[in-house]
Amino acid sequence: MNPNMSPIDWAKRPIQKFADLNGRAPRAEFWWWVLAIVVASIVTRIIDNILGMKIVGAYGPLSLILSVALIVPNIAVSVRRLHDTDRTGWWILLPIVPYCIAFVLGGSAMLSGSMTGLGTAGIFLLIGAVCALVLLVYYVMPGSPGSNRYGPNPYEGGSVAAA
């Protein structure tokens, strides 16, 4: 980790680079951001529960506002994290496609009462889970050394501290 940046500095970078899909996000930026989001989500859910406010399932208005407000920075930091491993940002769609197929198949199976359709939907859910694990492995991997097609290594030359 860059000695000039604290964990809070790392966690703030995705907000500062709100919709920036260019460049690279090192592991420190991505994982401190994830931790900050988990903590913020827990806090908003606790507040929603204390106030007895629920809109959708266990989600209250504060939880929903936080989720919606952070969609763009979550996507942006995820894309930049994949760029750091020299992968295109389109990889974030990897688990989404099978989940969407499972949703459509499961919904149509429920409407028609077909157990076969539910089994097929379950297979696509399993495929989606495997794809999500592949994506997790990419997020955990170290960034490519030196410059890659998405930019210079964020840890070299002090470019992280300046950004």
pLDDT in tens, 119-153: 888 999 999 999 999 999 999 999 999 999 999 98
Q: Report the phi/psi class of residue 86: left, alpha or beta, with left for phi > 0 and alpha for psi in -120 to 50.
A: left
Closest CA to 24 of 141, 149, 140, 137: 149
Residue 109 CB partners (closer than 8 Å, separation 6+): 115, 116, 117, 118, 120, 121
- The whole-angstrom separation of Cα 162 and Cα 21 is 18
CA within 13 Å, CB half, 70:
20
pLDDT in tens, 71-116: 999 999 999 999 999 999 999 999 999 999 999 988 888 778 777 7
State the maximum Cα–Cα separation within the chain, in Å, rounded to a whole number: 61
